[in-house]
Amino acid sequence: MNINKNDLFFLKNSICLAIAGMLSVSTVYAQDEDSEADLDGLVLQDVMVTATKTKQNLQEIPVAVTAISGENLDLLRDGGSDIRFLSGRVPSLIVESDFGRVFPRFYIRGLGNTDFDLNASQPVSLIYDDIVMENPMLKGFPVFDMDRVETLRGPQGTLFGRNTPAGIVKFDSVKPSEVKEGYAKIGFGSFNQFSFEGALGGAISENWSARISYLHDQRGDWVKNKPGLVDPDLILVNGQPKGDGDLEGYTENAYRIQLAYEGDDFSALFKLHGRDMDGTARVFRANIIQKGSNNFVPGYDRRVVSHDGGNEQTVKSTGFSAKLEWSLGNGYNLTSITGYETVEAFSRGDVEGGYGAIFLEPGIPSGPGFIPFPAQTADGIPDHSQFTQELRLSKLSGNVFWQTGLFYFDESLDVESFNYVDLSDNYTGYATQTQDTTAYALFGQADFYLTDATTLTAGLRWSRDEKNYTAAVPLHPFGGPPVAPVSVNPSDSNWSGNLSIAHIIDDNTNVYARLARGFRAPSIQGRVLFGGQVTVAKSETITSIEAGIKQELWDNRMRLNTAVFYYVLSDQQLTAGSGTANVNQLVNADSTVGYGFESDLTAALTANTLVTFGISYNNTEIQDKNLTVSPCGSDCTVLDPPGAIAGTVSIDGNSLPRAPEWMANLIVKHTIPLEHGNVVLSTDWAYRSDINFFLYESKEFRGDALLEGGVRIAFETQKWSAGLYGRNITNEDKLIAAIDFNNLEGIVNDPRVWGVDFQYYFF
């Protein structure tokens, strides 16, 4: 295994950070005369998760799982961070978006989907309070008043099964209870950021309890738009300068209302939630990459762009769920989970990331850099609904715990695409897509307790997926005739499952091995507005082998979990970007091979000091000698060999896009007890090695290694807390994504922010 300079940079910084954190907290701790006594009886609390749809100790599950508690979630999302704050916070997990605060794309062990279509499917499934969020616009629901987030790595094709070949990110909100509890939290930060978050819950009768949670978050624009840097007044539309104001601001509101019933043989949980976000779309930046490298061009400024196109983004979603559980006697338990979700969305942006165009009449400037032609487009979801139903029967019978059930999924989706030539709402191109998806499955899994120390788990799932899709272009953007509707109706059935064995070596050590298969149903893409074709990717399947060891060390003051894995993905669904053809299409690769390891460490170094550390290595390789794609819609430096088809390159042997080999995360939290409260010092860091943005490789479209960190200092009592925080404190300024269009266009990370917050506990 070769170690390049970026890996050395990562190792050096990780070691330095860990040593510095340990030395600093040890110095403080040494000043506490009672510290030695505090160590007696100090142990880590058990972590209970629901990765197998029943509550279990994290250390006993034969699956690679990492759980982030609500306390650490609050730390990591300081400053109004959206769901992307999870990226890199657990081994092998990446979260990114070309849309901004909506449409997050998840990658686990290198497997994800770079498709930006509003009907795109992903191999990482997101489960929110037991309900699958299939449409990408549903996946960005804000994280607040959360109990924990679990990341299940590897195929989860038995108990979950709906498009889960890579894994699952599972969100569990704080549930109602009989205990009165509540809080209110306000915060202020850089760029006029303001947030309010609160929750209130408790018993409302002998059997009923409720909880209400609310979030408001807003930030001002921090990117200055200066259209036409040479002379803005020369670029006119109807006598007015083009450009749609400054960018990156937003206002967001979200709520969750829960009602719970607890009886002797029956319990129920009802939930209503919603989101309303109004802001700007992701900022694309024309020609910020130097040709022949991935360095920024001279004069680049993260705080300034030059757009002459409109920019807006709105998302509204509402959902309802009901979880009903019956104890039927004789050890039988029946669970019903019903969910309904709907979302409306609209996102418009300046796709080429600049102003003007080179072909305009003399005297009218364009830029920054070479702009072959302008592009202003928008995509929206005017109508959407998703209904899910799961029924599950379980029983502990002797030395066997089994569960079996059925799952039903029905989604109806309309997508609209628009093309504009100016800032008015008069569009010159219009396309529609409709997609109706029906899926159903039968599943079963059993845990066989062979001995007190050995458990064998076996599961099987049959899935059926059917799609009805139609795309049309009623208004051609370039004056051509309308494109008649094109319909496709792919469907497929699949058997997936898992077989694992777990063995307790001693009271502190468990080992396991797991064989699993996963499945993702056929996907459809129809970027027909600009002449693209409707393409269908057939089903992909994965076979994964994993082995792990879970340990509790140092008198149960340290928890260390490590897994190694190897997988083969057959017929992987990939998105071939615009390139020279200026169209997106889906393709299948014969196979993709991946292997690596992951390790999680949690340690109570002292009675007042807690450290968590994670590291992962993922190696991925596309294996398909005949698969070629169109490279670079701009003048970039391609590194792949020419393909058999003229104008294409071969991607055989390339790693997967947005898939770093190395990742690491670190959190150090130290508490200083005082007479009337505690001072809590914490720092958190996330690292990833360099990444390739697209299926083909080029010198320009690569992201360098990225290390971002945060700090927080707070004073806490039983009734209130006040804190000062910083995010991206080293002010890293890096290229994190690119647009394969008509210039060397990139997307960058957010700048450093500072803020303060105050939280009050009602009871």
d(CA 157, CA 442): 11
Quote the pLDDT of residue 39: 59
Does residue 479 register a pLDDT over 90?
A: no
Higher pLDDT, 678 or 364: 678
Exposed e or buried b per residue across 228-266, where buried means at least 16 C-beta atoms within 10 angstroms of its C-beta: beeebeebeeeeeebbbebbbbbebbbbbbbbbebeeee
Nearest partner of 616 among 149, 87, 140, 123, judged by Cα: 87
d(CA 484, CA 467): 20
Q: Across all residues in the chain, what is the average pLDDT?
A: 90
Quote the pLDDT of residue 577: 78
d(CA 23, CA 161): 46
Band of residue 21 on the pLDDT scale cut at 50, 70, 90: very low
Per-residue pLDDT reduced to its tens digit, 23-62: 333 333 333 434 444 555 688 988 999 988 999 999 999 9
Quote the pLDDT of residue 292: 95
Does residue 193 register a pLDDT over 70?
A: yes
**Tokens at 573, concatenated:** 């669904």
Does residue 2 register a pLDDT over 60?
A: no
Quote the pLDDT of residue 373: 86
Does residue 20 register a pLDDT over 70?
A: no
Exposed e or buried b per residue across 704-743, where buried means at least 16 C-beta atoms within 10 angstroms of its C-beta: bbbbbbbbbebbbeeeebebebbbbbeebebbbbbbbbbb
Non-local CB neighbours of 292 within 8 Å, separated by 6+ positions: 637, 699, 700
Quote the pLDDT of residue 195: 97
Band of residue 633 on the pLDDT scale cut at 50, 70, 90: confident
Per-residue pLDDT reduced to its tens digit, 657-671: 999 999 999 999 999
Quote the pLDDT of residue 67: 94
What whole-number percentage of the chain has pLDDT above 70? 91
Q: Tokens 């072959």, residue?
A: 372
Per-residue pLDDT reduced to its tens digit, 389-414: 999 999 999 999 999 999 999 999 99
Does residue 571 register a pLDDT over 50?
A: yes
Average pLDDT over residues 234-256: 69
Does residue 152 register a pLDDT over 90?
A: yes
Q: Burial level of 34, CB count in 10 A (0-12/13-18/19+)? A: exposed
**Tokens at 27, concatenated:** 């110095």
Per-residue pLDDT reduced to its tens digit, 202-223: 999 999 999 999 999 999 999 9
Average pLDDT over residues 288-301: 96
Contact yes or no for 158/496 (Cβ under 8 A): yes
Does residue 237 register a pLDDT over 70?
A: no
Does residue 235 register a pLDDT over 60?
A: no
Per-residue pLDDT reduced to its tens digit, 432-469: 999 999 999 999 999 999 999 999 999 999 999 999 99
199: β partners? 183, 213
Instruction: Mean pLDDT check: name the lowest of 350-354, 486-490, 507-511, 595-599.
Output: 350-354
Does residue 672 register a pLDDT over 80?
A: yes
Higher pLDDT, 505 or 741: 505
d(CA 728, CA 710): 6
Does residue 232 register a pLDDT over 60?
A: no
Band of residue 356 on the pLDDT scale cut at 50, 70, 90: confident
Instruction: Mean pLDDT check: name the lowest of 95-104, 336-345, 535-544.
Output: 95-104
Please, which contacts does 35-41 make with residues 24 or more away whose CB atoms are closer than 8 Å? 35/606, 35/607, 35/608, 38/606, 38/607, 38/608, 39/606, 39/607
What whole-number percentage of the chain has pLDDT above 90? 78
Does residue 698 register a pLDDT over 70?
A: yes
Band of residue 240 on the pLDDT scale cut at 50, 70, 90: very low
Band of residue 651 on the pLDDT scale cut at 50, 70, 90: very high
Band of residue 426 on the pLDDT scale cut at 50, 70, 90: confident
To the question of domain 5-761 being in CATH 2.40.170.20, the answer is yes
> What backbone phi and psi angles, to 5 degrees, belong to 216?
-125, 130
Contact yes or no for 434/469 (Cβ under 8 A): yes
Quote the pLDDT of residue 665: 97
Q: Structure pTM? A: 0.92
d(CA 345, CA 378): 10
Average pLDDT over residues 726-737: 97
- Taking the mean position of all CA atoms in its chain, how far away is CA 721? 29
Per-residue pLDDT reduced to its tens digit, 305-325: 988 888 999 999 999 999 999
